[in-house]
Amino acid sequence: MSRTLLSRFRLLLASLPLVAVVLLLRFLVQNVWDIGEVATFGEIGSVITGVTLILGFMLGGVLADYKESERLPAVVAGALSGFAGTCSMAIAAKDQDPAWARRRVSAVADAVEGWIHGRLTDAQMWSAHADLSRVISEAERAGAAGHYMGRMLTVNGELSSALKRIEVIRNTSFVQSGYVLMVFLVLVLQASLAVVSFPSTVMSWIAPSVLSLAYAYLLLLVRDLDNPFGHGDNDGKGSGADVDVTPIVEAAASLRQG
C-alpha cells in the first residue's frame, strides 16, 4: 500500500482500536458479567444528539480555517516566484547579472518548503526569510528603479502575511474547551454503546460497531483538520487531511533550476 493511500486510511485505522474496546466491553457485559439490560437504544438518543451537535460545531469551525488554508500554498508560491522575477528584472535593467539574487531567493524557497514539511522550525524559517529584506536593500544599492523596489516590498509583505497565517494555523488549536467537551461526550457515547441493548442479536453487534467507528473517526478527523499543515507529522508521512502544498514545492524546484 502506497504512502498516500496509507495517509488516507490512517484515521480509519486509528479508530479501530476504540471499536475493538467497545465490542470487548460489550462481550464482557453480556456474556461474562451477565449484567443484563442496562439501557435501550432509544434511551441513549439524547447522548447521540449531544455528541452530534458538538462534533458538528467543532467540524464547522475547523473547516472554516481549512478552506482558507487551501489557498495559502498558492499565495506563498506566487509571492516567491513574483519576488524572484521582479528582483531579476530590476537588476538586469541595470545591465547586471541577477543570478546572485535568484540564488538567495531560491534558498528562502527551500527553507519555506523544509518548514512546511517539518524539517525546519519556525525560527529557522523566519531567519532564512529575513534574507529577502537584505536582497531588497542590495538591489536598491545596485540602482534598481523605484517601481521595482515598491513591487518587491509589496510582494515580500504578502509573503510574510501568508507565512505568518500558516504559522498561526499550525500552532493554534480551535477552542480548547470545545475539544474537552467533545472528547468527553464521545467517550460517554462509546461507553453507552457497550451496554445498550437491541431487539435483534445481529444488530446488537453491527450497530455499536458502526456507530463507534463513525464517532471515533469524526473525533480524529476534527483534530486532524485543525492542522491542515501537518505534513511533517506521523514520521514525515503527514495526513490525508493536509492541504496540497504542491505549488510551494514546484516554486522551490523552479527557482533551484534557475
pLDDT at 133: 94
How many CB atoms are closer than 10 A to CB 13? 9
pLDDT at 1: 41
Over the chain (258 residues), the average pLDDT of each successive run of 10 is 58 85 84 69 80 86 83 94 93 90 94 93 95 93 90 95 91 74 87 81 82 89 82 68 88 88
| Cell numbers describing residue 136 | 531588497
**Short-list 220, 191, 157, CA closest to 12:** 220
Q: How long a stretch of residues is the chain?
A: 258
Torsion sign (Cα): 51, 243, 16, 233: negative
**Domain ranges across the chain:** 3-257
pLDDT at 120: 92
**Short-list 254, 81, 79, 67, CA closest to 159:** 79
pLDDT at 200: 74
pLDDT at 2: 44
C-alpha span between 159 and 166 (Å, rounded): 11
C-alpha span between 10 and 5 (Å, rounded): 9
